[in-house]
Amino acid sequence: MSLLTNTLDELVALRRDLHTHPELGLEEVRTSDLVARELTRMGYHVERGLAKTGLVATLSNGLSRKAVGIRADMDALPIAEETGLPYASKMPGLMHACGHDGHTAMLLGAAKAIAERRNFDGTVHLIFQPAEENFGGAEIMVNEGLFKRFPCDAVFALHNDPMGPLGQFSFREGPIMAAVDEALIKVVGSGGHGSEPEHTADPIVAGASIVMALQSIVSRNIAALDPAVVTVAAFHGGSASNIIPSSADIVVGIRSFEPGVRDEVERRIKLVSTNQAESFGLTAEVDYRRSYDATINHKAETEYARSLALRFAGPDKVVDMQRPLMGSEDFAYMLRECPGTYFFLGGKRGKDDYPLHHARYDFNDDLLPIGAAFWTELVEDYLRPA
C-alpha cells in the first residue's frame, strides 16, 4: 500500500486530467494515447487498435503459463457537466458522468505497483476498453480476437458505486446486470383534417392503445419471479391540433435476464403492436434491436474475488447483492468468452453525492488507492509464485 500512497497525488492528477478531457466511445484518442504512453513507460508491452481506440498492456514474470485479465473502461457520456469543479470538462456537451476516468486511473495505479514489485509468476493483461456506454466496445474487442491474442484464465472488472459506502465491495454470483433491448414501433395509417377523423386512420389513437397494451406484457405474460421491464420512453406524432398525422412513432426500452424471457418479451411486443394496430385498421412496423446481453458472473471467480476482498478490506466492507440490477454492462461479452466476475466498489462521500449519469456527478478520488491496491493484490494473489 505504501507504493500506492506515494503515487496518490499522481493518480489524482491523472484522473482529473482525464476528467477534463472526456471522449465518447470509439473516439478516445487522447485517452488511449495517454494510457499507452504511461504503460509503455512502466515497461508493459502495449498492443493498440482493438475496437479502434482500445489497448491491451501485457507484463510477464517468471515461468508460469497462468494469465489474468483486468478490464477498465475509458469512454465518457454526451452530458453537459454542471459540477463547477476546477477540473470540469473542457469539451462542450461531454463529461465523465460514470466514473470511467476513475476506473482508468486506478488500473494505471495498479499497473505501476505490479510492474515495480514484480511479485507474481505468470502474465497479466490490462485491458483498457473503449465504448462501454453505447457502442459495445467489449463485444468488438472480443470479436477482434481479444482472448485469442491475449488468453486469460480469468478476467475481472469493477464499477464504482457513488451511492455505496466508501470502500464497500458488492458481489453477486450469476446475473448481476440485465440485458438491454430497444423496440422502435412505427404506427402507419392515413392522415387528414382534425375535424373529419372518420376519413382517416388515426395513428395517435392506435398508438395510445399500443402503449397501454404493452403494459400487460410483464404482468400477464412473464412469470412473476422472472424480472423484466418494458418501458415506453417516447411517443411522437402530429404537429398541429387540426391535423391527424399519417404515422406515429413509439420507442420502447426493454430489460431482462433470462434468454427465454427476452425472447418472449420480443415476441409479445411485436404481436401486441401489430394486432392493436390492425384492430384500428392500421399497420405497425416493429424494429426490435437487441443490445447488450445480461452480465452473468461465474461462480468460482466470484467466490475467489469475494474471499480476496474479505482479506483485503474485512468482513464489514464486503456484501452480497440480494438481487441484480436492471442496468446493463457490455463486460457481459468478455464473461461469455472467459471465466470471471464483475463487482461494485462503493464511493459515497457522505455529502453532495450524485448518481451515475448525473450532470453533477464526480468520481470520488478517495477510491483511487483502494481500487489500485485491490487490483494489485488480485494480480499478485492470483499469480502467486509457487
Domain count, the chain: 2
Q: Output the known binding site.
A: 98, 100, 133, 159, 357
In the annotated binding site for Mn(2+), the residues are 98, 100, 133, 159, 357
Residue among 220, 228, 215, 286 at smallest CA distance from 254: 228
List, in order, residues 6 or more apart from 342 with CB less than 8 Å away. Answer: 156, 157, 158, 159, 176, 177, 295, 297, 329, 331, 335
Residue 173 shares a structural domain with residue 252: no
Look at residue 1 and give its three-state secondary structure: coil
Residue 2, pLDDT score: 42
pLDDT at 3: 44
Q: Is the pTM of this model over 0.75?
A: yes
Q: Are residues 26 and 137 in the same domain?
A: yes
Answer yes or no: do 254 and 334 share one domain: no
Q: Which three cell numbers stand for residue 361?
A: 456527478
Question: How many beta carbons lie within 10 A of that of residue 41, not counting itself?
Answer: 10
In the chain, the amino acid numbered 206 is: A
Residues 152 and 218 in one domain: no
11 with 120, same domain: the answer is yes
Kindly give the pairing relationship between strand 54-61 and strand 45-50: antiparallel
CA-to-CA dists, residue 223 to 226, 264, 268, angstroms: 5, 11, 14
Output the domain CATH number for residue 197: 3.30.70.360
3-state DSSP helix/strand/coil % of the chain, to nearest 5: 35, 25, 35
Residues 163 and 302 in one domain: yes
Is the domain of 226 the same as that of 320?
no
Residue 245: burial class (beta carbons within 10 Å; 0-12, 13-18, 19+): buried
Report yes or no: 66 and 383 within 8 Å, Cβ to Cβ. yes
pLDDT given at position 5: 52
The pLDDT, as a whole number, for residue 134 is 86
Q: Are residue 331 and residue 282 in the same domain, yes or no?
A: no
| Residue 68 structural domain | 2-177+294-382
Whether residues 55 and 168 share a domain: the answer is yes
DSSP state of 264: H
Give the pLDDT means over successive 10-residue stretches in the chain (386 positions). Answer: 63 97 98 98 98 99 98 99 98 98 98 97 99 95 98 99 98 98 99 97 98 98 96 98 98 98 99 98 98 98 99 98 96 98 96 93 97 98 93
- Among 290, 319, 339, the domain-final residue is 290
Q: Which of 231, 263, 290 is the last residue of a domain?
A: 290
Report helix, strand or coil for 320.
strand
Tell whether 36 and 144 lie within a shared domain: yes
Distances (CA, A) of 332 to 218, 231, 296, 386: 24, 22, 7, 32
Cell readout for 360 is 453533477
